[in-house]
Structure 1
Amino acid sequence: MGLTPLMIAAVRGGGLDTGEDIENNEDSTAQVISDLLAQGAELNATMDKTGETSLHLAARFARADAAKRLLDAGADANSQDNTGRTPLHAAVAADAMGVFQILLRNRATNLNARMHDGTTPLILAARLAIEGMVEDLITADADINAADNSGKTALHWAAAVNNTEAVNILLMHHANRDAQDDKDETPLFLAAREGSYEASKALLDNFANREITDHMDRLPRDVASERLHHDIVRLLDEH
């Protein structure tokens, strides 16, 4: 698959996990990485199949010790794999909180990096409903209203997957509650379509506009009714 020794060190540390106490293991990881780099190992080499670097792999396998050492050595924090994912995207997807925090605090990290489909780390965190990451990204100044290639913002995605916690956090930080995607769909429209009751309620509690139609002139109520989400139809009528 095109793995280099440095990539293996990033994934496995100083070797296979022997069950020894973690501190020795972390030290040996750092040491192996340092030794390989001292011998001229290529820091930003990419895997043949996926285009991932050692830093991507450290993120994907939640190896904070390796990630720190790689960044200290000057690894590219924003290198993109074959899907356009940066190490920060990989850390979000893997729920690798340690690596995530290290990348967040690293000045070079682009918090608004976009995958080939336009997904930013904030959109990914909202979509995957990973606890704490949405708030941390907003606090670190990620663009709250950034949209992907289909015009969907983090709030659209959080509403669609009924990630109420993210919906509330995004609204609290003034995300555009009535943003419209390429099909003129608002977050409330998506919540109504997908049957996301709690998200619909949170949006209505925050004065989302229920009169905005999509590109086919349908209201959120229309699409909820069409999909037989009777609880949401009732909510839209009575809220």
Structure 2
Amino acid sequence: MGETPLTVAIGRQNVDLVRYFLDQGAATIKLNDSGSTPLHLAAAEGSCEIVEFLLSSGAYVDAIHLGGTALHSAAHSFGWYWLYCSCNCATVVHSLKCVKLLLEAGADVDGNCKETPLIIAAISASTEILKCLVLAGADANVPDSLGRAPIEIAARSGRREDVEILFPVTSCIPNVRDWSVDGIIRHVKSARPAKKAMLTSAKSKAHEAFKNGNYYLAARIYKEAMTLDPGNATLLSNRSLCWLRLGDAKNALNDAQACSMMRPGWPKASYREGTALMLLKDYEKACGAFLDGLKLEPRNVEMEDGLRQALESLKIYRSSPGQD
């Protein structure tokens, strides 16, 4: 299914099995079919013990996968969890510990990519990770893909504590007249460009990133666009497609299901859900999602193909040894 034994063990967070495969010489740099390295996967899962094993086995700490390093994955993982669930202290602790492990192993604190880990932490509202990156020397003056410094991102959301952390390490922004914590928050709120123009710009940048194969960046920009237009189901559907292209079935499914709730009766949401369930190998539920889509749009060729593949996969699965 495009996975290596090591990446499957990491996905299951089976520490003993990961240790066994590494002891047997499993390659720490080998990619699965979606292009993820074992270190990226472990960091995204917040699996600190597995991250330690991989680093001690020689995993390259600054390997880049779809526009980000493992440090990006660790800084990013809490943000998406927080978006869909209530805040969980254990998740914060594990993500923070992974960030610290990667930094201690010599990870480039600025990530050497278009979006820095500090930008990701600022967008994700992860104060402790933000603080950790600043203490490690992260450059607070590198802007995101929309041209905003981390302090502006934090101020736009009114997160005073994050602004206070970033303020001492951020160079004065010329058009901010009152260079103080309160002044920055006031400036960002009063000088915000027209919402429609910002949304149009974000959509254009996300489309360009997607077209260039930078699905991770496109997903990040779609998230920003959703803060401007929270009820836009199309943005959720587009981000779900980004996660599918990245091989991230869980986030793809979350977005697809949120899309269905936001816009009931939309066939595309059913198709996205079915595709994500196929990636998760939940063929029975995938059949249900595609069937729901066909009820809404009976002659949809994509939906028919999806249902056919889901039925074939379900038949093979059920006929395999050990299955009912």
Same fold (TM over 0.5): yes
Among residues 52, 55, 76, which one is paired with 1:93 in the alignment? 76
| Corresponding position of 1:69 | 53
**Native 8 Å contact 1:155 1:177 kept in 2:** no
Could you say if the C-alpha distance between residues 119 and 203 of structure 1 is closer, same or farther in structure 2, counting changes exceeding 3 Å? farther
Give the aligned residue type for 2:17: V
| Corresponding position of 2:62 | 78
Cα shift at 1:4:
1.0
**Native 8 Å contact 1:59 1:88 kept in 2:** yes
| Corresponding position of 2:105 | 106
Query: In 2, Cα distance between the equivalents of 1:76 and 1:104?
Result: 12
Query: In 1, Cα distance between the equivalents of 2:73 and 2:136?
Result: 18
Unpaired runs of 5+ residues, structure 1, are 15-28, 180-185, 190-199, 211-218, 228-239
Query: In 1, Cα distance between the equivalents of 2:103 and 2:55?
Result: 12
| Corresponding position of 1:163 | 159
Give the aligned residue type for 1:56: H
- Greater percentage in helix: 2
* CA offsets 1:195-239 (integer angstroms, 9 cap, x no match): xxxxx9834179x9x6xxxxxxxx974658x77xxxxxxxxxxxx
Among residues 148, 151, 157, which one is paired with 1:152 in the alignment? 148
Could you say if the C-alpha distance between residues 131 and 220 of structure 1 is closer, same or farther in structure 2, counting changes exceeding 3 Å? closer
Cα shift at 1:158:
1.4
**Native 8 Å contact 2:155 2:184 kept in 1:** no
Cα shift at 1:8:
1.9
**Native 8 Å contact 1:177 1:203 kept in 2:** no
Query: In 1, Cα distance between the equivalents of 2:183 and 2:45?
Result: 39
Query: In 2, Cα distance between the equivalents of 1:222 and 1:157?
Result: 13
Query: What is the TM-score of this pair, normalised by structure 1?
Result: 0.65
| Corresponding position of 2:171 | 176
Unpaired runs of 5+ residues, structure 2, are 79-94, 196-324
Cα shift at 1:119:
1.1
**Native 8 Å contact 2:96 2:128 kept in 1:** no
Query: In 1, Cα distance between the equivalents of 2:24 and 2:160?
Result: 50
Give the aligned residue type for 1:62: G
Query: In 2, Cα distance between the equivalents of 1:70 and 1:143?
Result: 27
SS in 2 for 1:77: coil
| Corresponding position of 1:202 | 181
- Highest relative contact order (Cα 8 Å, sep 6+), 1 or 2? 1
Computed over aligned residues only, the root mean square deviation of the Cα atoms, in angstroms, reads 2.9
Map residues 1-239 of structure 1 onto 2, 5 A cutoff.
2-14=2-14, 29=15, 31-49=16-34, 51-82=35-66, 84-95=67-78, 96-107=95-106, 109-115=107-113, 118-171=114-167, 173-178=168-173, 202-204=181-183, 221=190, 223=192
Cα shift at 1:38:
3.4
**Native 8 Å contact 1:11 1:63 kept in 2:** no
SS in 2 for 1:94: helix
| Number of residue pairs the alignment of both structures matches | 178
Query: In 2, Cα distance between the equivalents of 1:88 and 1:205?
Result: 28
SS in 2 for 1:92: helix
